[in-house]
Amino acid sequence: MAKRIDVSGLSAYYGNHKAIDDISMTVEPRSVTAFIGPSGCGKSTFLRTLNRMHEVTPGGRVEGKVMLDDENLYGSGVDPVAVRRTVGMVFQRPNPFPTMSIFDNVAAGLRLNGSYKKSELADVVERSLKGANLWNEVKDRLNKPGSGLSGGQQQRLCIARAIAVEPDVLLMDEPCSALDPISTLAIEDLIGELKERFTIVIVTHNMQQAARVSDRTAFFNLAAVGQPGKLIELDDTERIFSNPSVQATEDYISGRFG
Amino acid sequence: MSHAVQERPVAFAKSRGPLSHARLPRWTPAAIAVGSVAAGIGIGLAAGWHSKVQWGLIAALVFVLATYAITTKVEGSRQAKDRIATSLVWVCFVLAVVPLLSLAWVTISKGMEVLDGYFLTHSMNGVLDAETGGGVYHALLGTIEQVGIATLIAAPIGLLTAVYLVEYGTGKLAKAVTFFVDVMTGIPSIVAGLFILSTWTLMLGFGPSGFAGAMALAILMMPVVVRSTEEMLKLVPNELREASLALGVPKWRTILKVVLPTAIGGITTGVMLAVARITGETAPVLLLVFGTKLINPNPFEGAQSSLPLYVYEQYAVGTDAAVARAWAAALVLIAFVMILNLVARGIARWKAPKTGR
Amino acid sequence: MVTTTPPAIEKNRSRRAKSAARPGDRIFSGLSKGSGITLLVIMAAIAVFLTYRTVLAVSKDEANFFTTFEWNPAGNPPVFGIAVLAFGTIVSSVIAMVIAVPVAIGIALFISHYAPRKLAKPLAYVVDLLAAVPSIIYGLWGAIFLVPYLDGLNQWLDQYLGWTYIFDKSADGVARNLFTVGILLAIMILPIITNVTREVFLQAPKMHEEAALALGATRWEVIRMAVLPFGRSGIISASMLGLGRALGETMAVAVVLSPSFVLSGHLLDPGGGTFAQNIAAKFNEADEFGRDALIASGLVLFVITLLVNGAARWIIARRKEYSGANA
């Protein structure tokens, strides 16, 4: 069931260096929110705090609250492993497990969380691959290794893998930046369909993509060189791209920097 | 093509738990470890076993089982498997560290009993096996001479072969050489000794000498030098070679003046590590250099001794005095090898080409 | 008059065109090629001479070289065979592998994934250094220190696991047996296997580990899904390199084992022999024919290690083709 995300006062550090400062925002369920901003402004770092991947980096540390409906992801006693089960992630470079077949790749998350009969797994795998618009292309070779597909297909495989466990939220970190334009379009269409089931947050360098795909857009920026990144403006996508409230947003959108 | 909201399969309801659950406190592994050691000693004593090895094994077993049981009860079986894996990995670490610490400790403590300046500067001339006294000078001398000659033979040949493979080699000869260098790295040291024995000693009739041993050591050293030099030469970026050639510098001078100096740090390290390895070789020396109690400064004629051979001989003698000498010589040998290793690695780090790592 | 290039310059030009004719190049490339050929010659010589003397010995052996249990080349007629040696070498090496490989994987995982960052580097350094300890020192430590400790363990094994044939101690004596040798060899080959395996684990692509983490995997599950499958062939080739070293180990075995020419399945009984140890022990007193017999056994050992090392390298080569998917 797609959930709502409520972030308040979130700051993230690498050791003593503060990367992002005091971010507060809300993401509505069953919507697509895009994070845009120049390189190094902390949008990927912020994304990774939403599924507690930031702390995997040596020295990574987070302060603040992230509420998923009514549970604080950073509450005391919360197991990061459980968080990552409910908040899924798709990465920039497609990374299907090379030694596993396509079937096993999609089933990987399921197998971690319990033992299921082969027939149950097959059902879920088929449903997930259909949900990722990949079923027709691979239904005859589910036992072949996942690394034998094209880049766009591999990324859709990773998406199938992520949605197979029915996460509450799906995070996507520049999912199309390593792909060709046609695969990119296919995945953007897919996101449009997936948002009916999941809450989606997507980081992207491509402003046109953000305009095409998202309902709401958040613009991040550094206050100055060496300063942590901050959330500058969050609004409906249409408004951000036609009539932003903050000057910096307007400058970025029209290409005056970044 | 839109998909209606899928009904969630019942299967997932069972695996979807709350985000937080009971967690074991952080000091749990340490506590279980202490408990296991106590249990190991307790069970060992109660059953009348006095070997510390057995106590250790019992403790390790108790540790693993207790961890699994406690974690499954409190956190769940997936976490239990994770903790078991963690504890097994730590147990492996301890298993490895204990014998090696013991080896270091024993060698140092027993070696220091006899080791002193006299020991380093006198030979075994006139010393009976059961007596104390005597020293390791003749063995030190032998080792240095044999290893030195081996290096003089093996290093140039190994270096030039590596140069051939990297800079010149294409085609069948290079493939054959590479293949046989691989084969040579796998020669057991005793077989290298046997080879020199069968040719130099049996066929050509020469007697034991430091030089014979040096030749066997050179055979063992050559492939190691080839491989490590190859790695270093391959690290030199091609742009350097091309820049030099484009200036009209002939190939041989490019190699000599540009490629080799760039790689020299790594090459030196590789050679020193190879030297450290053959310093500790006993088997071929046993066959070819024979061993002696006297100082023989001539490596080309007559038996010599060497440090590892001396250790073996003294141990074989078996008297308390001899075994004490064996430990002292072992300490000298290990110090020698370790210093070579540390210096070699130091050079590697100092001279490493600053290619962004 | 048409200007023609003077003959002297013509000759210079054609000489420069043939770059290989430069004397410096020729000498240098000749030297390096010659070194390569020297290596080939040495290898060929080893093969030829060992085989020659082996043939001399085996042809006069009255018994089957491969299946005889005795070693009596000085006898009349000479009777010697490598059965006991082959058994001892293989058994002690197998014991060493069974112990060393899992522990090495554990330590390699420890260094690459479990140890606190500050501990990992010095630890890797220390394991590197341990690979450099000469084998005679392991032998000394094993004989004087390890053997008495293992006496207690041997008795315990005999008492509780004696129903398995191998742990039934049928002869009296100190723990100078193949089992002890196996344990000592395990300690000796541990650094090599650990080092190579550690390098492989460190190269496991981080992005697959992250993919597993993002699915909600525990640390062990990440290792099981992303690291171990990646490192599988590396582990195998590292193990075979360790095996090669264990097979050829001479001095540690010679010092620890109490040798005898008995092929016994009771691994806790003192006795037995390995190829390398036998050569080291017997060559001093052997006459010329005896030495040839020992050389014959050395050739068998050489062939075995050749096969093992060859298999290891074949596995590495196969893996390099296979992981072409690694973008």
* Domain range annotation of chain C: 7-60, 71-325
Query: Does the pLDDT at position B113 exceed 80?
Result: yes
What percent of chain A has a predicted confidence (pLDDT) above 70? 99
Query: Does the pLDDT at position B51 exceed 70?
Result: no
Q: Model confidence at B50, in pLDDT bands (50, 70, 90)? A: low
Label residue A133 left, alpha or beta by phi (over 0 means left) and psi (-120 to 50 means alpha): left
Query: Does the pLDDT at position B8 exceed 50?
Result: no
Tell me the domains of chain A and their CATH numbers.
Answer: 5-253 (3.40.50.300)
Q: Give how far B25 is from chain A: nearest CA, Å.
A: 10
Structural fold of domain B137-351? MetI-like fold (1.10.3720)
Cβ-Cβ contacts under 8 Å, A78 against chain B: 19-20
The mean pLDDT of A245-254, rounded to a whole number, is 88
Name the residue among C117, C212, C215 with its Cβ closest to that of A165.
Answer: C215
Q: What is the reported pLDDT for C320?
A: 62
Q: Which two tokens stand for residue C84?
A: 């006991």
Subunit contact A99:C229, Cβ cutoff 8 A = yes
Residue B133 CA to residue B130 CA, distance in Å, equals: 10
Residue C214 CA to residue A84 CA, distance in Å, equals: 6
- The ipTM value here is 0.85
pLDDT tens-place string over residues A48-72: 999 999 988 888 999 999 999 888 9
Q: Model confidence at B12, in pLDDT bands (50, 70, 90)? A: very low
Q: Model confidence at C82, in pLDDT bands (50, 70, 90)? A: confident
The mean pLDDT of C87-106, rounded to a whole number, is 92
Query: Does the pLDDT at position C101 exceed 90?
Result: yes
Own/partner pairs, B50-54, CB within 8 angstroms, 24+ separation:
B50/C152, B51/C149, B51/C150, B51/C151, B51/C152, B51/C153, B51/C156, B52/C149, B53/C149, B53/C150, B53/C152, B53/C153, B54/C152, B54/C153, B54/C156
| CA nearest neighbour of C113 among C239, C214, C209, C237 | C209
Q: Taking the C-alpha atoms of A175, A180, A183 and A187 in order, what is their torsion angle to the nearest 10 degrees?
A: 30
B-chain residue closest to A127, CA distance = B6
**Average pLDDT in chain B:** 82
Q: Which two tokens stand for residue C10?
A: 């013509």
Q: A23 and A46 in contact (C-beta within 8 Å)?
A: yes
Question: At CB < 8 Å, which residues of chain A contact C?
Answer: 51, 53, 56, 58, 81-86, 88-89, 91, 93, 95-100, 108-109, 112-113, 145, 147-148, 158, 161-162, 165
Best C16, C18, C33, C39 member to test B by mutation, with max B CBs in 10 Å, is: C39
* b/e code A177-209 from CB counts within 10 Å (16+ = b): ebbeeebbebbbebbeebbebbbbbbbbbbbeb
Residue C197 CA to residue A123 CA, distance in Å, equals: 39
Q: A203: Cβ–Cβ under 8 A, 6 or more apart, which residues?
A: A34, A35, A43, A44, A47, A172, A173, A174
Query: Does the pLDDT at position C8 exceed 60?
Result: no
Q: Which two tokens stand for residue A140?
A: 């005859």
Interface of C with B in 165-204 (CB under 8 A): 187, 190, 194
Cβ-Cβ contacts under 8 Å, C226 against chain A: 97
| CA nearest neighbour of A102 among A73, A139, A75, A55 | A139
CA angle, C15 as apex, C10 and C18 as ends, to 5°? 135
Residue B297 CA to residue C156 CA, distance in Å, equals: 52
The mean pLDDT of A249-256, rounded to a whole number, is 86
| CA nearest neighbour of A97 among C218, C105, C207, C201 | C207
Cβ-Cβ contacts under 8 Å, B22 against chain A: 77
Query: Does the pLDDT at position B56 exceed 60?
Result: yes
Question: At CB < 8 Å, which residues of chain B contact A?
Answer: 1-3, 5-6, 8-9, 11-12, 14-23, 78
Enumerate the domain spans of chain B.
20-110, 137-351
Give B279-336 as a DSSP string: HT--HHHHHHTB--SS----TTSB-B--HHHHHHHHHHH--HHHHHHHHHHHHHHHHH
E strand or H helix at C159, and its extent? Answer: helix C147-161
Query: Does the pLDDT at position B9 exceed 60?
Result: no
Subunit contact A124:B3, Cβ cutoff 8 A = no
Residue C212 CA to residue C210 CA, distance in Å, equals: 5
Q: A171 and A132 in contact (C-beta within 8 Å)?
A: no
Q: Give CATH superfamily name and number for C71-325.
A: MetI-like (1.10.3720.10)
Q: Model confidence at C259, in pLDDT bands (50, 70, 90)? A: confident
Subunit contact B9:A123, Cβ cutoff 8 A = yes
The mean pLDDT of B258-278, rounded to a whole number, is 87
Chains that touch B (3 or more CB pairs under 8 A): A, C
Residue C271 CA to residue C259 CA, distance in Å, equals: 5
Q: What is the reported pLDDT for B2?
A: 39
Q: Say if C51 is an interface residue toward chain A (CB within 8 Å).
A: no
